[in-house]
Structure 1
Amino acid sequence: MTQPCSDGLPLPQRYGAILAIALGITVSVLDGVIANVALPTIARDLQASPASSIWIVNAYQLAITISLLSLASLGDLIGYRRVYLAGLVIFSITSVFCALSDSLTTLTIARVLQGFGAAAIMSVNTALIRIIYPQRYLGRGIGINSLIVAFSSAAGPTVAAAVLSVASWQWLFAVNLPIGIVALILGTKFLPANSQKSNSRRFDTTSAVMNALTFGLLITAISSLAQGHSMLLLTAEIAALLIIGYFFVRRQLNQTSPLLPVDLLRIPIFALSMGTSVCSFAAQMLAMISLPFFLQGSLGRDEVETGLLLTPWPLAIIIMAPIAGRLVERIHAGLLGGIGLATFALGLFLLALLPNDPTNLDIVWRMVLCGAGFGLFQSPNNHTIISAAPRHRSGGASGMLGTARLLGQTSGAALVALMFNLFHTDGTHASLILAGVFASVAAIVSCLRMTQPHTVASK
């Protein structure tokens, strides 16, 4: 184990540490998107309906959502390195379980466990980077981490297409094992321990349980509505959500170091930015999960073609995100986000209006429009969320940012199932229309931020 020096790690060790983080983040982000392309194939192989197969994606996202903040808090107490390495072990082992699954039930359970491992990896990676990099190069380290996340998201459809062209869907999960082993070896050797741990407080188990129940009940209620469960069950879930959620928020407001920093929502521009984040990621997931069913089921494209046709979307995000990152220094993030989200909404509506027999070009340029709009919005929005919070609350703001992203993605995945159940033959079309509505609402909310100062207090 490498001990951190007073200001980051020396160069040879720093390279090994960042490579360990890069590998872990790559596989955990990839597995959030890589299954989308193969979802129709997996559903057929496991004899599951399209609506119920959404749980293959939703279970992973749900597990991350309910445990991310708790694991981040645990990292403050016992060390980021321990949480990260434990996450790698869990993620790698459960990836094998995913590959060996022979039913929708076993695969869903394996994906839940895999999601907990991914949450441990994601919850502390930024905190580790702050220890690895000297303060003067911290921006560079955060930039590298953001690029890895963006690249992994972009590579998801392409990697899935490449794997499926030569192997079965099980290999989408099996390839995580050798990568995880390499990351574990590097992490054990190079990742530093916390230079300072928080010994003044204990892990708030009650808040962790309430956090899991609140977000779990929220997603479960949406899923129950999507799957057409009984009104009695849905009503019970909503009632439990309101009761537990109320006491959870009340508990957080009375703590100096809350697990869920809801007090930051009192900052208007922060709250508006969180709203745009949830809506935009819900819209993105609605489109990215439903489109493979349309491309393969209605248009007859195979898995490889589907992966390639989805790739222009995240590639456009990679191109546009750094441009937006520079523009936000001169243009208000509310305006940039509004323009980006309006472009995103336009692309979604145009995808919904595809002709009956579209060419690849018809699909690709609409994908590029969606990706470019989302990329123009994402960087300024993230910048606003982090900078709107006081400087000493940056960690809490970062956790809220991740939670908003995951909440939006998980809700979007559940809403796809709802659209497929309500519109049996036009589920993708309905999902894209709903996605366009979400993006349009987010665009309006983003423009409302223009009434707020460009930056807020950073004390």
Structure 2
Amino acid sequence: MPTPILTPDVPPRDGLPPGQRGRAMIAVLMGVALATLDTAIANTALPTIAADLGVDPGASIWIVNAYQLAVVATLLPIAALGEIVGQRKIYLGGLVLFTLASLVCALAWSLPTLVAARVLQGVGASALMAVNIALIRFIYPAAQLGRGVGLNAFVVGVGFAVGPTVASLILVAAPWPWLFAVNVPIGLAALALAWTALTETGRSGHSFDGAGAILNAVAFALLVLGLGDAAHEGPVWRILAEFAGALACGTLLLRRQAGHPAPMLAADLLKRPLFALSALTSVCSFAAQGLAFVSLPFLFQHALGRSQVETGFLMTPWPVVVALMAPLAGRLSDRYPPGLLGGIGLAVLALGMALLAALPADPSVFDITWRMAICGAGFGFFQAPNLRAIMTSAPSTRSGGASGIVATARLLGQTTGAALVAACFAIADARGPALALGLGGAFAGIASAVSFLRLAVRVQHT
């Protein structure tokens, strides 16, 4: 492997000075919050946007799909680029692009204009998510890394969960363009803070593989499209073509980058048992979360007859408890094995989802709330230790690639979970939400078992 070329202002492995550390961490978390919220925030407003722009509701789904596809397709190439030019430059560029694209979204006058702006916004969000964990690894000293990833896990978990609620609150007081306009002042504030607080993290000596980036983008885009078509019972020929194309592009990418010192799809890191088990745990756990957060609104509104406002409040205990547990779990992960903490948390999540699936026919608010709180406690207790395990099991010179795997595993898990909800509805009709929650519990149980397997694995140092 080429010797990393480090710039003079690379922070030592004891992290940044405390004052600068706090400012840098706030800047990173602000960007992560923007990217995570916008993953789900537009869903709630789709009917309103479609009516205002005079387009078919079915066509408006591309407002969501364009953003998600842009994120999934560019995550790993941008993470690889971060190792070459430095994570700070990628993060600052992502903030600039995301903020400008948000302004264009707010000013969009047609569906094609809005979709194009959402693609650019997705690329900006991808840059923020691709390098955020790598930056945190340099912001915090090694002995306190769990605290940093705990705060990140808190922001990601809460952002994903409360996105629809935030959208509903904005739409009560303002028209839909404000869903995107509110990002502009926040993005500018984050940019000003990041510019002064973040320092260079070093650069590797290898070059960027443009052809590999194209293969990666096509492979992941086709995979996500195939999962979506399969869930919605699309034409069999198209589903097979999308999966076949994803497999072909992925195979070509792996062959092209075989022997590369820092491959875009970090297959070399997956040879490390702790890294591979942690990545698999992440995919399964976020699939469980996706199954829950897509199916629960249908359960509350259609099966239990709750209003949209009531549904928002009933969803609240999960992210609130995540917010309470994630920082605590992050601190504990600096002292106890992530395999143990993650396994316990995921077992609790599996229990909570099983209890939700077995709700009585006419549950009280308390019946729902304490079950949601159990799920939040389990998920919050798992996430930070798992992030710490992924990052510490990769060499420091591969922080960008490891950070890209973190974000990709999360998005693939959530996408798979959402696709499986549609399949559950097709199979079980009115019992679809309960089936989806039970399946989510099974995913969490599998993830718990995989997490405990990490206790038998030693960290592979470089």
TM-score surpassing 0.5? yes
Q: Hey, what's the Cα distance between the residues in 2 that align with 1:426 and 1:414? A: 16
Cα distance change, pair 420–105 in 1 and its aligned pair in 2 (3 A): farther
Q: Distance in 1 between the 2:271 and 2:251 partners?
A: 16
Kept after mapping to 2: 8 A contact 1:161/1:306? no
Q: Does the aligned pair in 1 maintain the 2:318–2:372 contact within 8 Å?
A: yes
- Identify the residue that residue 186 of structure 2 maps to in structure 1: 179
The CA deviation string for residues 356-415 of structure 1, in whole angstroms up to 9 with x for no partner, is 333222221111111111122223322322333345444433322222112111222233
2:28 to 21, 30, 51: 21
Say if 1:388 and 1:143 are closer, same or farther in 2 by CA, change over 3 A.
same
Shift of 1:20: 3.6
- Select 2:173's aligned residue among 154, 159, 166: 166
Distance (whole Å) between structure 2 residues aligned to residue 201 and residue 142 of structure 1: 28
SS at match of 2:262: coil
What's the offset of the Cα at 1:139? Answer: 6.9
1:262 aligns to what SS in structure 2? Answer: coil
Query: Residue 219 of structure 1 contacts residue 414 of structure 1 at CA under 8 Å; is this kept in 2?
Result: no
Distance 1:365 1:234 in 2: 40
Matches within 5 A, 1:288-437: 288-328=293-333, 332-437=337-442
**CA separation of 1:357/1:136 partners in 2, compared to 1, >3 Å: closer, same or farther?**
closer
CA contact 2:87–2:400 (8 Å) conserved in 1: no
What residue in structure 1 maps to residue 4 of structure 2?
A: none
Residue in structure 2 matched with residue 114 of structure 1 by the alignment = 121
Give the Cα separation in 1 of the matches to 2:441 and 2:147: 35
Instruction: Please show how residues 176-255 of structure 1 align to structure 2 within 5 Å.
Output: 176-188=183-195, 190=196, 194=200, 196-198=202-204, 200-255=205-260
In 1, distance between residues paired with 2:383 and 2:307? 31
Whichever residue aligns with residue 66 of structure 1, its letter is A
- Is the CA contact (8 Å cut-off) linking 1:224 and 1:234 kept in structure 2? yes
Structure 1 residues without counterparts, runs of 5 or longer: none
Q: TM-score, normalised by structure 1?
A: 0.83
Displacement after TM superposition at 1:288 (Å):
0.8
Aligned to 1:268, which of 252, 273, 280? 273
Q: The residue matched to 2:207 in structure 1 has which SS? A: coil
| Counterpart code for 1:359 | S
Structure 2 runs not aligned, ≥5 long: 1-7
Distance apart, 1:417 and its partner CA: 3.3
Moved more, 32-41 or 58-67: 32-41
Cα deviation for residue 158 of structure 1 reads 5.1
- 311 and 104 in structure 1: CA distance in 2 versus 1, 3 angstrom threshold: farther
Shift of 1:118: 0.5
Contact between 1:57 and 1:413, CA under 8 Å: does it hold in 2? no
Cα separation, 2, equivalents of 1:101 and 1:298:
37
Of stretches 33-42 and 377-386 in structure 1, the one that deviates more from structure 2 is 33-42
| 1:91 pairs with 2:105 | no
Name the counterpart of 1:63: 70
Tell me by how many angstroms 1:90 deviates.
2.7
Does the residue aligned with 2:184 lie in a helix, a strand or coil? Answer: helix
Q: Distance in 2 between matches of 1:296 and 1:264?
A: 43
Closer/same/farther in 2, CA of residues 293 and 170 from structure 1, 3 Å limit:
farther
The Cα RMSD (Å) is 3.6
Measure, in 2, the Cα distance between the counterparts of 1:372 and 1:163: 28
Change in CA separation of 1:53 and 1:313 when aligned onto 2, cut-off 3 Å: farther
Aligned pair in 2 of structure 1 residues 325, 93: CA closer, same or farther (>3 Å)? closer
Amino acid of the structure 2 residue aligned with 1:366: R
Describe the SS at the equivalent of 1:202: coil
Kindly tell me the number of residue pairs found equivalent between the two proteins: 451
Q: Which of residues 112, 128, 131 in structure 2 aligns to 1:124?
A: 131
Contact between 2:50 and 2:60, CA under 8 Å: does it hold in 1?
yes
How far 1:290 sits from its partner (Å)? 2.3
Could you say what secondary structure the match of 2:78 adopts? helix
Return closer, same or farther for 1:212/1:369 CA change in 2, 3 Å cut-off.
Answer: same
Separation (CA, whole Å) in 1 of partners of 2:125 and 2:208: 20
* Partner Cα distance (1:313, 1:397) in 2: 28
* CA deviation map 1:239-298 (0-9, x unaligned): 222222222223333211211221222223332222121111011012112222333344
| Equivalent position amino acid for 1:270 in 2 | F
Does the 8 A contact of 2:153 with 2:326 survive in 1? no
Change (3 A) 1:76 1:379: closer
Distance 2:451 2:146 in 1: 26
Structure 1 counterpart of 2:37, one-letter code = L
- Which residue identity lines up with residue 190 of structure 2 in the other structure? A
Q: Flag the 1:212–1:16 CA change in 2: closer, same or farther, 3 A.
A: same
**2:81 is aligned with 1:78:** no
Give the conservation status (yes or no) of the 8 Å contact 2:321–2:376. Answer: yes
Partner of 1:457 in structure 2?
Answer: 460
One-letter code of the match for 2:285?
S
User: Residue 257 of structure 2 aligns to a residue in which SS?
Assistant: helix
How far apart are 1:458 and its partner, in Å?
A: 1.7
For residues 43 and 437 of structure 1, the distance between their equivalents in structure 2, rounded to whole angstroms, comes to: 37
| Residues 407-456 of structure 1, C-alpha deviations (whole Å, 9 max, x = no match) | 11122223333334445544433322322222222223333334x23x41
**1:361 alignment partner AA:** F
Quick one: distance in 2 between partners of 1:96 and 1:9? 33
Name the counterpart of 1:257.
262
Aligned AA (1:89): V
More divergent stretch after superposition (72-81 vs 398-407):
72-81
| Cα distance in structure 2, aligned partners of 1:102 and 1:305 | 33
